[in-house]
Amino acid sequence: MNPEGVIRVLGPMVIAMLLPMAVIGVFCLVRRDPPRCARFALWVALVTAVLVGLLVGLFLAGEALTEPGGLRGALLVACWMVPLAVLTVIAWRAPRSAPVVLGT
C-alpha cells in the first residue's frame, strides 16, 4: 500500500484517538470535579472504543468481501464476527463468567 493509502486509512483512527483526549482534557479543566471528570472520561473512552472497533470491523469486512468476494468472503467475515459478538454479549450480560469463557 502506498503512503497516501496508509494515511487515508489511519488518518480517521488517529483523529478518533486524539479528539476524545482533547475533549476530556477541556472538560476536566473547566469542571475541576474529579469524580465527574472520571465518569465523563469513562463514557468518552467507551464511545471511542466502540467507534474505533466499528471502523476497524467495517474495514476488515470490506477487505474480506472484496478480496475473495461472494460467499467465501461472507464466511470469512462470519468466522470472526460471530464469535466476537457472542463473547461481547457474554462479557456484557455476565461479566463474572467472561474470564472463564475467555480462558484468563
Cell 471528570 belongs to: 37
53-62 tens-digit pLDDT: 888 888 878 8
pLDDT of residue 43 exceeding 80, the answer is: yes
C-alpha distances (whole Å) from 31 to each of 26, 35, 41, 44, 46 are: 9, 10, 12, 16, 20
Distance in angstroms (rounded) separating the CA atoms of residues 65 and 61:
6
pLDDT of residue 75 exceeding 70, the answer is: yes
Q: Would residue 33 be called left, alpha or beta, if left means φ above 0 and alpha means ψ between -120 and 50 degrees?
A: beta
Model pLDDT, residue 2: 66
